[in-house]
Amino acid sequence: LSNNAPVLQLKHTLGLIDGRHRFNRTEFSVQKRFWLSAFGHIDAEAQAGIVWDAVPFPKLFVPQSNQSLFLSPNTFCLMRPMEFIMDKYVALYATYHLKGLIFNHIPIWNRMKLREVVSFSGVYGGLSPKNIPSAITPGLYVMPDLCGTMDKMPYMEITAGIENILQ
């Protein structure tokens, strides 16, 4: 399949949790590859989602964290697992594969065919009062101690690395 055309996805999930909580979640995403001729390409994805009902925290949106040494698409390398929990969010992911734009000018690295990659990940969201466990929201699970909500600032990361190490 060609990666030139944008890919639009709209997903809505309906469910019932523990026989008590109704669950409605809507997510929308757009993926696109931008070709930059001899300068490589950029794979970009924008996502947005919302949970419409009051649900326990396992059904809320949790950004994916990556605890390995390898770059995984649409993940955050410095974020702890379950650091942020939200019921509405907007996320942007972009990975730029430079295809040797810099390393092709370094003689030894040129023969090794190493390639550069730069990635950006960002997320912004919030948690509405209906999903915060308290006396006025009975039946919701208490969140773990390390979980938090986003304040006024988005969470962003930029990573750089080398690919094609094993050819």
Measured CA to CA, the distance from residue 75 to residue 65 in angstroms comes to 5
Q: What is the mean pLDDT of residues 132-152?
A: 73
pTM for the whole thing?
Answer: 0.86
Q: 29-38, pLDDT tens digit by residue?
A: 999 999 988 8
Position 141 pLDDT exceeds 60: yes
Given a cut of 80, whether residue 158 has pLDDT beyond it is yes
Q: Residue 41: is its pLDDT beyond 60?
A: yes
Q: How far is CA 89 from the centre of its chain?
A: 10
For residue 73, how many other CB atoms are within 10 A of its CB?
Answer: 12
Q: What is the pLDDT of residues 43-76, one digit of tens each?
A: 999 999 999 988 888 888 989 988 888 778 888 9
What is the C-alpha to C-alpha distance for residues 33 and 49, in angstroms, rounded to an integer? 22
